[in-house]
Amino acid sequence: MDSMITTVWNETRGERVLGRARRCASFLCRLRGLTFRRSLDDDEGLLLVGRRESRADTAIHMFFVFFPIAAVWLDQSGRVVDAQLARPFRPLYVPRAPARDVLEGPPALLKRAQIGDQLRFGE
């Protein structure tokens, strides 16, 4: 289901990571991602939900994304397996380890969700 809004929590650190993350599960929603958006609020993100753990399936592009974002890759249990700053108009970002989901958000997200942290989605 696309467009469901959820809160993101860092269970490892015991803090809220993002107040609003839109869930994006369909192929078209994941393909579009944040393209053509002009900005992202400090407490807003996009959760790209995959079907299986893979490096290739969770690669992201930054074509027509006009601002830098944090890309946080998660395994099927919600553990952070990689995190990078993704810059505008770069062709490809691939996680170092297999991941199922990608959480995209403002660059400050990289300070709130680091490799090894356990994230949880919901109130």
The per-residue pLDDT string of the chain (123 residues; one tens digit each, 9 = 90 and over) reads 566 889 999 999 999 999 999 999 998 888 888 888 889 999 999 999 999 999 999 999 999 999 999 999 999 999 999 999 999 999 999 999 999 999 999 999 999 999 999 999 998
**What does the angle CA 43 – CA 5 – CA 21 come to, to the nearest 5 degrees?**
35
Closest CA to 64 of 27, 93, 90: 90
To the question of domain 5-121 being in CATH 3.30.70.2190, the answer is no
Exposure letters 45-74 (e unless 16+ CB within 10 A, then b): bbbbbbeebeeeebbbebeebeeebbbbbb
In this structure, the dihedral spanned by the alpha carbons of residues 17, 77, 116 and 29, taken in order and rounded to 10 degrees, is -50
Q: Considering the entire predicted model, what is its pTM?
A: 0.94
Instruction: Return the SS3 of 74.
Output: strand
